[in-house]
Copies of this chain bind each other. A is one copy, B any other.
Amino acid sequence: MNVVSGAKAPEVTDLHRAAERLEGVAHRTPVMTSSQFDDITGARVFFKCECFQRMGAFKFRGAFNTVASLEPAERARGVVTHSSGNHGQAVALAAKLFDHTKAYVVVPKNAPQVKLQAMEGYGAEIVLCEPTMAERESGATQIIERTGAALIHPFDDPRVIAGQSTAARELIEQAGRPLDLILVPVGGGGLASGTALAARYFSPSTRVIGCEPAGADDACRSVELGRRVPVESPATIADGLRGQLSQLTFELIHKYVDQMVRVQEADIRAAMRWVWDRMKILIEPSAAVPVAALMAGQIEAGGKSVGIILSGGNVDIEAVIDHG
């Protein structure tokens, strides 16, 4: 069964295989609840804490599933990606854990030193480039031509999407009751696509709501127009959500995500701070976007059981507070 145009949407067998590959490698992250949050929102909310995932974000799931999906001969030539953020760390760690596969990460020169160090700590070879998308892609292409390494895209890949689906699948299992809604942040759309597929296959009565910063709302606009539109001058503290959908993630979201909501910056900041101060969980701004949608009353959730995927915790605390 292949339900989306093009040949690339992951099927249910791909989701099963991803869960098997990640078993015992990815953390089965805890699901937390907060009676205070329930009092505020009138819902019963289950927070899936992917900020506690290896390297601090759900991205590890997709990266590892993809590295593990490669043919041995292919993997022997290494893997490559370009990233200034979580995905680079995810590929570096996934490669290290899967039989010490060689990983190359093309990183823009202006990326934070701490992220470079994390990738190097996982054993990746860092290739610095000028901070433009063209230079990043050209840097990765040169490595592929020279080494034959396999490109690991951050979201435009059914293996990556299948890996990301495992977070929502675990949440569905761990909640211990049927979920009426799952809220998920939308950036490039890999997590949202995987979440929508997990709900479709493992909890068909659950509605999936994609949450996007109003300042980077290409997914909202794309779904409204029925065709993929570019993100223009993204302006949001949620740095993980500034990218835009690929054709594949657009089609999956258009078809299987039940609703999209735009979230205001002030609400994102307030929600992030609430989770820090009350739940003691250090989430990154991108992870606060669905929390904000619920706290700001943008989603009808009274009396409902709601899952929220707290997508990651890689935040520069001082920078975020200074901006606050």
In the complex, A280 Cα to B29 Cα: how many Å?
12
Residues of B within 8 A of A52 (CB): 32, 279-281
Min CB distance, A284 to chain B, in Å? Answer: 9
Give A16-35 as 1s and 0s: 1 = Cβ < 8 Å from B's Cβ atoms: 00000000000000101001
In the complex, A299 Cα to B280 Cα: how many Å?
27
**Tally of this chain's copies:** 2
Q: Which of A222-230, A248-256, A313-321 contacts B (4 or more CB under 8 A)?
A: A313-321
Min CB distance, A189 to chain B, in Å? Answer: 24
In the complex, A321 Cα to B318 Cα: how many Å?
8
In the complex, A56 Cα to B52 Cα: how many Å?
18
Give A255-281 as 1s and 0s: 1 = Cβ < 8 Å from B's Cβ atoms: 000000000000000000000111111
Which residue of chain B is the closest to A31 with respect to CB atoms? B30
A281 near B282: Cβ-Cβ < 8 Å: yes
A317 near B313: Cβ-Cβ < 8 Å: no
In the complex, A318 Cα to B324 Cα: how many Å?
11
Q: A32-B52, A317-B317 are in contact. List 12 more A-B contacts (CB 8 A).
A: A35-B54, A52-B280, A52-B281, A56-B278, A56-B280, A276-B282, A277-B317, A280-B313, A281-B282, A282-B282, A317-B321, A318-B321
The 8 closest A-B pairs by CB, nearest first: A280-B313, A280-B282, A51-B280, A30-B30, A282-B282, A276-B282, A56-B280, A52-B280
Can you list 22 A-B pairs with a CB-CB distance of less than 8 A? Answer: A30-B30, A30-B32, A32-B52, A35-B54, A51-B280, A52-B279, A52-B280, A52-B281, A56-B278, A56-B280, A276-B282, A276-B317, A280-B281, A280-B282, A280-B283, A281-B281, A281-B282, A282-B282, A317-B317, A317-B321, A318-B321, A321-B321
